[in-house]
Chains A and B, each alone.
Chain A
Amino acid sequence: MSQQRQSPGAGRAAGERLAVDWIACDGRGLCAELLPERVGLDEWGYPVLEGQALTADLLPDARRAVAACPKLALRLQPC
């Protein structure tokens, strides 16, 4: 997955994906605001992660979302 060759730049898989620590997550929803391309919210306000590997162009926003989580519940992990 991480070595997938597509058009350079935008669509390239970054070899990382988002994961939620469900016990820590409180449904504050900042992740969905900072990375709407990949994070939706369920009817109770908890994140619904869309897709698998993040593409390189989304990685900066994903890192921002991880850093902004007030419960430290969002993380990036290799995939």
Chain B
Amino acid sequence: MTAPQALVEERILTQGAGTGKYRDLDVHLAEHGPVPSTPGPALVTLVEQSGLTGRGGAGFPTARKLAAVAAGSAPVVVANGAEGEPASSKDRVLLSYAPHLVLDGLQLACRAVGAAQAYVYVHEGPLVAHLENLVRARARRGVDVVVPTVVAAPARFISGQETAVVSAINAGPALPTSAAQPVYVKGVDRRPTLVQNVETLAHLALLARHGASWFRGAGTEREPGTMLCTISGAVASPGVVEVPIGTDIADLLERAGGPSSRLGAVLVGGYHGAWLPAPTAAELAMSVAGLRDAGASPGAGVLVALGADSCGLVETARAVGYLAQESARQCGPCMNGLPAMAHALGELARARPTPGLADRVQALALAVDKRGACHHPDGTVRLVRSALRVFAAEVRSHQGGRCGATDLRPVLPVPAPMAGPR
């Protein structure tokens, strides 16, 4: 899959947007200058003042994470670029287009927590060699105090989950674990570990250079800064854009060229996110606060526009089939419940007049919700429940044996199953 091109020039995606051109170290240094020499404790204070939150999907305050890891001894920092979400490309665009901001941010995070060991964690693929070359180039020039190790993980949905990241770096499988202690207490090599999304680190690199009030010059009071969003589906120019947090979804869709047909619904926050009716979504702000009452959240900044002529149930059934296949098969309710849910949704999507299918899906959702070591079952349930809510009219007509959709081209991307043993 080729990553969509960067569309808009802002803080992170500043130059040559749309070219996807790799930026070399000289270009980066000429534009941004060297990594600032701010001492560690001052960096933590700066992050706290900035209000920076994690951009990997959970939105946790970065300063609190930094402080927790800094309190331990001999910590480790991981730049997490394992972007498992099929509808997200922002981390790949960032690592291809502005990788030195991420690597600068990694240095700063190491200094903030007092770490002498760092990793860059990405999916297998061309990014691995690309990043290894960049790390070597920076080491040769003496840019980095802590030279990170690049670690590749299988390109699976859940391999970027925090405990899976730690497990993979510890030479285990890239699957979630149910450790008694959080990774910020006991992670890589049993040491306190900061796992930070690569976009968060890029923001840190800019924040350290320009200050907290500059950072707060975009976004909202509670959720400051910009964010990268991946917009796809029924829009004229799908791709990655950088926008202030809190931008209306209608404006975000315009940044991707606007709707390419009349929209029925928008998937917000990715495959662990929620469908919203298009008119509802259009008026909402892309922020945690703006989406909370609608039962959605920005997640990792994913929007997928669905045309009114497409079938939301068919789309959801395909996505849930993928999510079921991506279960780590470690926890019983997820291992059994997700395939069962995918099957029932598939039957519903095929518009066979079978009574009780929607009730069966709801019962399965209840049976898997919050019953796993990670949030994979919970996130899948969120998507499924939102589909039954938003596509309630379609559910009724499908149960009566009829699908009104006229455009059956797939909208939600689903990677091919991986070959070989998992």
A56 CA / B372 CA spacing, docked (Å): 28
Residues A21 and B178 in contact, CB atoms below 8 Å apart = yes
Residue tally, chain B, CB below 8 Å to A: 14
A43 touches B367 (CB 8 A): yes
The verdict on A46 contacting B371 (CB below 8 Å), with A22-B330, A22-B331, A27-B332 known, is yes
Residues of B within 8 A of A43 (CB): 336, 367
Q: Which of B332, B367, B372 has the most CB of A within 10 A?
A: B332
Query: Which B residues have a C-beta under 8 Å from some C-beta of A?
Result: 176-178, 330-334, 336-337, 367, 371-373
A17-66 residues with Cβ-Cβ distance < 8 A to B are 20-27, 42-46
Asked whether, in the complex, the Cβ of B333 is within 8 Å of the Cβ of A23, the reply is no
Which residues does chain B contribute within 8 Å of A45, judged by CB atoms? 332
Question: Contact flags (1/0) for A7-23 with B, using CB distance below 8 Å?
Answer: 00000000000001111
Report the minimal beta-carbon distance from B224 to chain A, rounded to whole angstroms: 36
Count: A-B pairs, CB below 8 Å: 36
Expressed in whole angstroms, the minimum distance between the Cβ of B288 and any Cβ of chain A is: 27
Q: Are A22 and B178 in contact (CB under 8 A)?
A: yes
Residues A44 and B331 in contact in the complex (CB < 8 Å), given A21-B178, A22-B371, A23-B373: no
Chain B proximity of A71: nearest CB distance (Å): 11
Partner of A25, one of B176, B331, B337, B367: B331
State whether A23 touches B178 (Cβ < 8 A).
Answer: yes
- Contacts A22-B333, A46-B371 known; list 15 others, CB within 8 Å: A21-B178, A22-B330, A22-B332, A23-B178, A23-B330, A23-B331, A25-B331, A26-B332, A42-B333, A42-B367, A43-B367, A44-B333, A44-B336, A44-B337, A45-B332
B contact residues around A42 at 8 Å (CB):
333, 367
29 A-B pairs with CB atoms under 8 Å apart are A20-B371, A21-B178, A21-B373, A22-B178, A22-B330, A22-B331, A22-B332, A22-B333, A22-B334, A22-B372, A22-B373, A23-B176, A23-B177, A23-B178, A23-B331, A26-B332, A27-B332, A42-B333, A42-B367, A43-B336, A43-B367, A44-B332, A44-B333, A44-B336, A45-B332, A46-B332, A46-B333, A46-B336, A46-B371
